[in-house]
Amino acid sequence: MNYINSGPKKAAITGLGAYVPKHRLTNADLEKMVDTNDEWIFARTGIKERRILKGQHKPTSFMAIKAAKKLLRKKNIAPRRIDMVIVATITPDMNVAATAAQVATEIGAVNAFAYDIQAACSGFLYGMSTASSMISSGRYKKVLLIGADKMSSIVDYDDRATCIIFGDGAGAALFEASDSDYGWEDEYFRSNGSGRKYLNIKAGGSLLPASEVTVENKMHFLYQDGKTVFKSAVSEMCNAAEKIIKRNKIDTNKIAYLVPHQANKRIIDAVAKRINLPSQKVMNNIEKYGNTTAATLPLLLNDYEKKLSPGDKLIFAAFGGGFTWGAAYLTWSY
């Protein structure tokens, strides 16, 4: 572990890697599984297809490892130089054993410590705060943050309210001290535990341990009251993004991109409209991946990486189970 106590520095994202499984679950496929249709799904969510991790013994870490290895290869960094691995996920390989520890070991990050963050769809956003704090405090030099979820492992493919939305994927970002003045600028995060009745997995935790009854009643699948989650997501993502923009006195014309969690195209459009951003300044890939929970933000960054330049002002916004939500401001560093 490279403990460097060199004082406050700005943290920057200095590299990206991503992985999505090959198998595509299209709206046409879903038409054969539940009472739905392509027109409804596309009009109500903006999704055309999602990726699904097929095959036995392929957990979330399978995708996280692929994304991390791609990043290390691209950056030509020896894994032993990584100080810390954080995995944001709601679909860990196992309860108790941290998925991040498995990822760190498999990529050869032998000098790293590793743990998971669970904040549902806000997991990567919150993780960026942790990663950048670890860097800007001067405590560590290289922090690998991965957002990864195998949503297909907790989705009920008989439930049309959830199975049309979610997909599998992973994205990784490296945080290092910025060698310019660009990097993590500001964050506004909140949570509200009373929202947990609207978006949850009811059983399998300490509140309701697994039993025959919980299995029979499908209580290990993801449940959501879509309408309530939708309304809360729109209002909180809008408020958080506005707060960040206002208090940093950012001229909206100078924003390069809004980087919104990909839950529903209509939520994304509402946030963009509220902060007055045209669609070409809104990162968007929901059409091809659906909602990959903790992976949406790094998958977006990875898809748009080539379009980004040093100094680009990015506004992140996310909302998820808990409820958890927030917005952040980052200036791109490369």
Which residues make up the interface to ligand UT7 (CB under 6 A)? 36, 40, 44-45, 121, 160-161, 164-165, 199, 224, 226-227, 229-230, 233, 263-264, 267, 291, 319-320
Q: Output the smallest distance, CB 143 to ligand UT7, in A.
A: 25
Catalytic residues, by residue number, are: 121, 261, 291
Secondary structure (H, E, C), the chain: CCCCCCCCCCEEEEEEEEECCCEEEEHHHHHCCCCCCHHHHHHHHCCCEEEECCCCCCCHHHHHHHHHHHHHHHHCCCHHHCCEEEEECCCCCCCCCCHHHHHHHHHCCCCCEEEEECCHHHHHHHHHHHHHHHHHCCCCCCEEEEEEEEHHHCCCCCCHHHHCCECEEEEEEEEEECCCCCCEEEEEEEECHHHHHCEECCCCCCCCCCCHHHHHCCCCCCEECHHHHHHHHHHHHHHHHHHHHHHCCCCHHHEEEEEECCCCHHHHHHHHHHCCCCHHHECCCHHHHCECHHHHHHHHHHHHHHHCCCCCEEEEEEEECCCEEEEEEEECCC
Q: How far is the CB of 150 from ligand UT7 (least distance, A)?
A: 15
Residue 51 or 69: the one with the smaller Cβ distance to ligand UT7 is: 51
| CB of 138 or CB of 226, closer to ligand UT7 | 226
Judged by CB, which is closer to ligand UT7: 84, or 90? 90
Residue 94 C-beta: closest distance to ligand UT7, Å: 23
Query: From the CB of 65, what's the least distance to ligand UT7, in Å?
Result: 24
- Compare residues 124 and 304 and give the one whose CB is closer to ligand UT7: 124
